[in-house]
Amino acid sequence: MAQPIFEEEILPPGTEVIAPARSDAFAFVALLTGSTALAIGPWFVRMADVGPIASGFWRLALAIPFLFLIVRASKQRFGRQDAKLWAMLAIAGLFFAVDLALWHEGILRTKLANATLFGNVSSFFFAGYGFILARRLPNRMQACALVLAIVGIALLLGRSYELSRAHLVGDLLSIGAGLAYVVYMIAIERARTRLDTWPVLAIATVVGAICLLPTAEALDGSVLPHDWTPLLCLAIGSQVIGQGLVVFAMGRLSPVVVGIALLSQPLVSAIVGWVAYGERMTGPDIAGALALAAALVLIRGRD
């Protein structure tokens, strides 16, 4: 059963708080699978025939029925929650809406490699949050994993990464999206100590959709698409599968592991570009992929 949020305010003095399992193999595989699904999402955003904010709204809105069906099928309950938990879920939904609005706009205004790079600043900050939460510095294995992850991303995106005035707005939007996603992940991580995976994601998704609809109507104009296929793929692939697996893993793995594992997304993007678009991986690309793979192996160990 999930543990109480803000344990220090609920448990009596002297009570030992049992941390969630840090070496859950199934949760780690789920996290990498969810990260892979999220990395494919930008292609569906570019394929959609609605504005970027509207595609973010449909990603959430179309996922809502599936999420509530999963809640019912899994027999996970919403229950009667206190104001602090509802506040965390509202914050998660609000900042996820901000993340999607900025990220989807950034995808269309800059190079995909730039958007992937800047959008993943959240992974480093969330890993840092894990060290602050644990009140300790990275151990040797974690430090090596962080360095390898940074080197791997730099090598993977080195050829295509470019700062220019033409891409400046999109780059800044992607950075803003990454920072908003940090707040979302922290709020989700806190909520997961009190509520199971699917109720948490369902509530946050509803809040995010409510926030995005008026924004999309104001900035994108019409929100109705002609082709629903990319939006359905985005909703099921990114929101139900991708976010579902990530939120599940966040209740079982430390923020340090989650943050570094989510850095696998640029690696997935490079592989998809190679397979789908014939973008050959050069020596530096392969070296970057190996560095990221080594980082994932290291962080998979006990923290």
List the chain domain ranges: 21-137+162-253
Map residue 219 onto helix, strand or coil: helix
Task: Take residue 166 and report the two structure tokens written for it.
Answer: 């033409």
**Could you give the CA distance from residue 86 to residue 124 in angstroms, rounded to a whole number?**
27
* Residue 11 binned pLDDT confidence (cut-offs 50, 70, 90): very low
Q: Which one has a higher pLDDT value, 4 or 107?
A: 107
The residues, any chain, with a CB within 8 Å of residue 146's CB and separated by 6 or more, are: 124, 127, 138, 260, 295
* Residue 187 binned pLDDT confidence (cut-offs 50, 70, 90): very high
User: Does pLDDT of 9 surpass 60?
Assistant: no
| Alpha-helix runs per DSSP H in the chain | 7-10, 25-47, 52-61, 63-74, 83-109, 112-119, 121-134, 140-157, 168-191, 197-219, 229-233, 244-250, 255-261, 265-277, 283-300
pLDDT tens per residue across span 249-303? 988 888 888 888 888 887 776 677 677 666 666 777 778 778 888 888 887 755 5
pLDDT of residue 201: 95
DSSP 240: I
pLDDT tens per residue across span 123-168? 888 888 888 877 777 778 888 888 888 888 777 666 555 556 667 7
pLDDT tens per residue across span 16-57? 333 444 448 889 999 999 999 988 888 888 889 999 999 999
For the chain, the residue count is 303
CA angle 243, 62, 96 (to 5 degrees): 45
Contact yes or no for 223/58 (Cβ under 8 A): yes
User: Does pLDDT of 118 surpass 70?
Assistant: yes
Distances (CA, A) of 294 to 127, 145, 269: 17, 7, 18
Mean pLDDT of the chain: 82
**Could you give the CA distance from residue 274 to residue 72 in angstroms, rounded to a whole number?**
40
**Could you give the CA distance from residue 14 to residue 251 in angstroms, rounded to a whole number?**
24
* Residue 15 binned pLDDT confidence (cut-offs 50, 70, 90): very low
DSSP 193: T
User: Does pLDDT of 184 surpass 80?
Assistant: yes
**Could you give the CA distance from residue 259 to residue 182 in angstroms, rounded to a whole number?**
10
Q: What is the pTM of this model?
A: 0.81
